[in-house]
Amino acid sequence: MKAVIEFIKGIEETTIPIINITRSPDGTTGTATFIFENASLFYAGINSQREITGMFLIDNEGTLSTRDINAKFIQGKPKTLQAIYIMKNAEAWDRFMRFMERYSEQNNLTFIKAKISS
């Protein structure tokens, strides 16, 4: 099964996001911020039957989801979509990273580790 991101059930988001991931120093929690510029869902014909109910990360292990989504509009038109996924424990972190490995492989994404300033 392909690893996909959906905002509308059954419709794959084809825009590849910028993803910023942070992890607590003790490794027990983390946050992933997804930023979609000109998300394809803006052009998917959203209506009452096709409404955005969350961000769904779907792969062969199941579905991860968040309802923490914000859209930025410029001159009345949708421009950027931001979704935040929170990992509340080490198991959730590991599961999220397995999804990201699959999603990254399929979309030729690269992980760049942040430089720690002293």
Model confidence over 76-93: pLDDT tens digits?
888 999 999 999 999 999
Do residues 13 and 5 touch, judged by C-beta distance below 8 A?
Answer: yes
User: 4-107, which class in CATH?
Assistant: mainly beta
Q: What is the mean pLDDT of the chain?
A: 89
What confidence tier does 49 reach under pLDDT thresholds 50, 70, 90? low
User: Percent of the chain at pLDDT above 90?
Assistant: 63
Cα–Cα distance, 32 to 57 (Å, whole number): 12
Taking only the tens place, the pLDDT of each residue in 50-77 is: 778 899 999 999 999 999 999 999 888 8
Enter the pTM of the model.
Answer: 0.88
**Residue 16 CA: distances (Å) to CA of 40, 41, 81, 98, 108:** 10, 12, 12, 18, 10
- Please identify which residue in the block is written with the tokens 């825009």: 15
**Residue 19 CA: distances (Å) to CA of 40, 64, 97:** 17, 15, 12
